[in-house]
């Protein structure tokens, strides 16, 4: 019928396709299959509108590998093409994308920026094939079938052919350097990745030569084909939420992650058609502190075609910790990540998802608070992360974000403010909230706080220091203090002054003696006249420095703070009996030892005595026992 040149000016298009798209060449399969899906869905639509008289039958796409012929074939029984349509859509239109691609990137050597920037659609077949054939027959009754061949250069042939059934077969003669794509396992892997939820059934078969029938030249090869439907054309997220039960969501979760055993805590079914089209199901996984965070669990689909499972920069970061599926017609296919990240529709979708997640959490909280509380410790990391990285989410989270105290009671921030307001306000009118990061290690401090009637929060997630900083900036006259940040009487300073047992001069004399007995670089000595029955020595870690260090370690805060050495305050209770004894001790050596032992005991009570210091301390304790 026709020979001709593909309508492209740059003759070197094919080498460029191979070179620049090389690292991503497996996407050719997604491209061809999504064309087949398009062709099937288009026919469905035409038929529904009465614009096609074709008998729809069972629409289906078939992928076949023929190892012997070294071909991979994608067949559909969709709307097919007439020769004129092949000429138009394959030779001219489809290639204009490729042409644009070449023009734009002719002189650029940065292939990373180029890869995936332009979807080459049909022509991506040439990344893996040395020759591509199209056999196609239009759904329009009188159209003749067409056969198009191209060997990876601008020349093509287009002839009339015989084809029994409506639809299109794309036959790829796999290039010698791409024979992986003739392997069943490889194709199966790609089909599972890209096609698992395509809306048209996908059959996969391998043709193998099993025997010959007949003799000599008349012998016929008998090929057997093993077929499997590999996709679920109607995955849960395409159904209406009211038609699904809890168990359906769980089984969908297992379908998505066949290798995960842990069950999700709850799900959010997204179902929006205005102002944009968005469906999907998100799952909240159980997240434990110190768990490896996985950010590539959510899969992004466009009309059931897999786009990516790397959503970093596409949705708010905290949402990438969720699991599940997001599907939207408005998500562009065939574009690079940077394009996806800056796409306006994608941005809107992303902030909408964040809102939906907040709404759902609020709903769960309101519906069954006890149940929500029981899940809180497993979800708080994601929510706290969200509050820190997404301002709107922070505001919305005020309704459901919880704070747990050491008694195991949960409060919203407003509730907790109201609960502690009166007692926790210091003499300057500042509301101080007390917290511990580790109730075991900070036991003695918690006890001191509770003895005064104070309440102590248990805040142990890794982002706490950032979160507190944020809460402090958005709540005037309110601050957080970890129980070990200072002596409790200092943390929430009230008006009452303790009488001092030692005179000002005595304290002046004692301070340098104590400073001389402890490691100077590690301790700042702080003389305090506390209750006489209070411990003589207390180790505290100043809130500001510690928090800066923590923030620096988890990203943010002041740069370089993470490298600061451990620094403590050594609070010396000048009203205690031991300190009086030290004051009155005339033997300088003995005095030194009393101070060192006292400091070590204080360190030990907080699990801060380690290594050599601990060994020496225990040793000397034992020798004293045997000396007595």
Site residues for ligand ADP per CB under 6 A: 31, 35-36, 39, 76, 78-79, 81, 89-90, 94, 121-122, 168
- Rounded to whole angstroms, the Cα distance separating 514 from 595 reads 7
- Rounded to whole angstroms, the Cα distance separating 593 from 384 reads 46
Query: In the complex, what is the shortest distance from the CB of residue 305 to Mg ion, in angstroms, rounded to a whole number?
Result: 10
How far lies 325's CA from each of 56, 363, 364, 604, in Å? 30, 21, 20, 50
Q: Which residue is nearest to ligand ADP (CB)?
A: 121
Helices (H), 235-313: 246-256
- Rounded to whole angstroms, the Cα distance separating 125 from 123 reads 5
Asked if 78 interacts with Mg ion (CB under 5 A), we say no
The answer to whether the beta carbons of residues 36 and 76 sit under 8 Å apart is yes
Q: Which residue is nearest to Mg ion (CB)?
A: 121
Q: Name the residue nearer to ligand ADP (CB basis): 95 or 252.
A: 95
Output the six-digit token pair for 407: 């008694």
Asked if 121 interacts with Mg ion (CB under 5 A), we say yes
Q: Which partner from the list ligand ADP, Mg ion, none does 94 bind, CB cut-off 5 to 8 Å by kind? A: ligand ADP
Cβ-Cβ contacts under 8 Å for 392 (sequence gap 6 or more) = 351, 354, 355, 358
The answer to whether the beta carbons of residues 403 and 419 sit under 8 Å apart is no
- Rounded to whole angstroms, the Cα distance separating 103 from 90 reads 19
Residue with tokens 């899906």: 37
Q: Under DSSP, is residue 599 helix (H, G, I), strand (E, B) or coil? A: helix
Q: Which partner from the list Mg ion, ligand ADP, none does 78 bind, CB cut-off 5 to 8 Å by kind? A: ligand ADP
The answer to whether the beta carbons of residues 159 and 1 sit under 8 Å apart is yes
Q: Which partner from the list Mg ion, ligand ADP, none does 154 bind, CB cut-off 5 to 8 Å by kind? A: none
Q: Which partner from the list ligand ADP, Mg ion, none does 168 bind, CB cut-off 5 to 8 Å by kind? A: ligand ADP
| The one among 13, 35, 139, 282 contacting Mg ion by CB under 5 A | 35
Q: Name the residue nearer to ligand ADP (CB basis): 94 or 456.
A: 94
Query: In the complex, what is the shortest distance from the CB of residue 34 to Mg ion, in angstroms, rounded to a whole number?
Result: 6
Q: Which partner from the list Mg ion, ligand ADP, none does 76 bind, CB cut-off 5 to 8 Å by kind? A: ligand ADP
- Rounded to whole angstroms, the Cα distance separating 485 from 434 reads 10
Q: Which stretch binds Mg ion (CB under 5 A): 121-129, 207-215, 281-289, 360-368?
A: 121-129
Cβ-Cβ contacts under 8 Å for 565 (sequence gap 6 or more) = 521, 522
Q: Name the residue nearer to Mg ion (CB basis): 32 or 315.
A: 32
Q: Name the residue nearer to ligand ADP (CB basis): 198 or 471.
A: 198
Q: Name the residue nearer to ligand ADP (CB basis): 132 or 174.
A: 132
Output the six-digit token pair for 130: 């040395």
Q: Which stretch binds Mg ion (CB under 5 A): 101-109, 118-126, 159-167, 595-603?
A: 118-126
Q: Which partner from the list ligand ADP, Mg ion, none does 39 bind, CB cut-off 5 to 8 Å by kind? A: ligand ADP
Q: Name the residue nearer to ligand ADP (CB basis): 167 or 598.
A: 167
Residue 596 DSSP class: H
Q: Name the residue nearer to Mg ion (CB basis): 97 or 233.
A: 97
Interacting residues toward Mg ion by CB under 5 A: 35, 121
């Amino acid at each position: 019928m026709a020979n001709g040149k593909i309508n492209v000016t740059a003759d070197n298009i094919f080498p460029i396709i191979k070179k620049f798209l090389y690292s991503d060449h497996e996407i050719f399969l997604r491209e061809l299959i999504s064309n087949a899906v398009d062709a099937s869905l288009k026919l469905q639509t035409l038929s529904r509108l009465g614009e096609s008289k074709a008998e729809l039958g069972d629409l289906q796409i078939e992928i076949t590998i023929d190892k012997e012929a070294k071909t991979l074939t994608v067949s559909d029984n969709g709307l097919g093409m007439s020769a004129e349509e092949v000429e138009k859509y394959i030779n001219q239109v489809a290639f204009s994308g490729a042409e644009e691609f070449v023009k734009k990137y002719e002189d650029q050597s940065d292939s990373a920026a180029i890869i995936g920037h332009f979807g080459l659609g049909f022509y991506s077949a040439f990344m893996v094939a040395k020759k591509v054939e199209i056999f196609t027959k239009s759904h329009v009754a009188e159209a003749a079938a067409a056969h198009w061949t191209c060997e990876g250069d601008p020349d093509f042939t287009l002839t009339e052919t015989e084809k029994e059934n409506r639809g299109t077969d794309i036959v790829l003669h796999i290039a010698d350097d791409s024979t992986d794509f003739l392997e069943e396992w490889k194709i199966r892997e790609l089909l599972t990745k890209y096609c698992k939820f395509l809306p048209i059934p996908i059959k996969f078969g391998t043709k193998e030569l099993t025997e010959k029938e007949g003799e000599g030249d008349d012998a016929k090869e008998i090929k057997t084909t093993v077929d499997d439907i590999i996709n679920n054309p109607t995955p849960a997220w395409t159904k209406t939420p009211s038609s699904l039960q809890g168990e359906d969501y769980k089984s969908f979760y297992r379908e998505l992650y066949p290798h995960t055993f842990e069950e999700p805590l709850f799900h959010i079914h997204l179902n929006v058609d205005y102002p944009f089209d968005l469906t999907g199901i998100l799952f909240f996984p159980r997240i434990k502190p110190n768990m490896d965070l996985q950010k590539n669990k959510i899969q992004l689909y466009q009309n059931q075609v897999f786009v990516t499972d790397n959503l970093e920069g596409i949705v708010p970061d905290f949402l990438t910790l969720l699991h599940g599926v997001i599907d939207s017609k408005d998500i562009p296919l065939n574009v690079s990540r940077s394009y996806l990240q800056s796409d306006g529709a994608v941005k809107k979708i992303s902030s909408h998802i964040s809102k939906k997640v907040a709404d759902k959490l609020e709903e769960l909280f309101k519906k069954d608070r006890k149940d929500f509380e029981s899940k809180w410790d497993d979800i708080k990391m994601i929510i706290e992360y969200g509050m820190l990285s997404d301002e709107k989410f922070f505001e919305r989270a005020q309704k459901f974000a919880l704070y747990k105290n050491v008694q195991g009671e949960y409060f919203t921030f407003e509730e907790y403010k109201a609960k502690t307001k009166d007692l926790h306000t210091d003499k300057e009118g500042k509301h101080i909230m007390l917290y511990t990061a580790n109730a075991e290690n900070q036991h003695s401090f918690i006890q001191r706080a509770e003895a005064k009637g104070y309440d102590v929060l248990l805040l142990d997630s890794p982002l706490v220091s950032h979160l507190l900083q944020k809460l402090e900036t958005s709540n005037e006259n309110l601050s957080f203090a970890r129980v070990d940040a200072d002596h409790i009487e200092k943390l929430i300073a009230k008006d009452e002054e303790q009488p001092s047992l030692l005179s000002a001069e005595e304290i002046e004399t004692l301070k340098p003696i104590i400073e001389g007995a402890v490691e100077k670089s590690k301790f700042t000595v702080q003389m305090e006249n506390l209750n006489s029955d209070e411990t003589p020595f207390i180790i505290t870690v100043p809130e500001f420095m510690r928090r800066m260090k923590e923030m620096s370690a988890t990203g943010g805060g002041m740069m370089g703070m993470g490298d600061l050495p451990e620094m403590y305050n050594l609070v010396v209770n000048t009203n205690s009996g031991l300190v009086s004894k030290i004051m009155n001790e005339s033997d300088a050596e003995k005095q030194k030892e009393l101070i060192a032992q006292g400091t070590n005991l204080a360190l030990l009570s907080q699990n801060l005595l380690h290594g050599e210091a601990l060994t020496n301390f225990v040793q000397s304790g034992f020798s004293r026992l045997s000396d007595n």
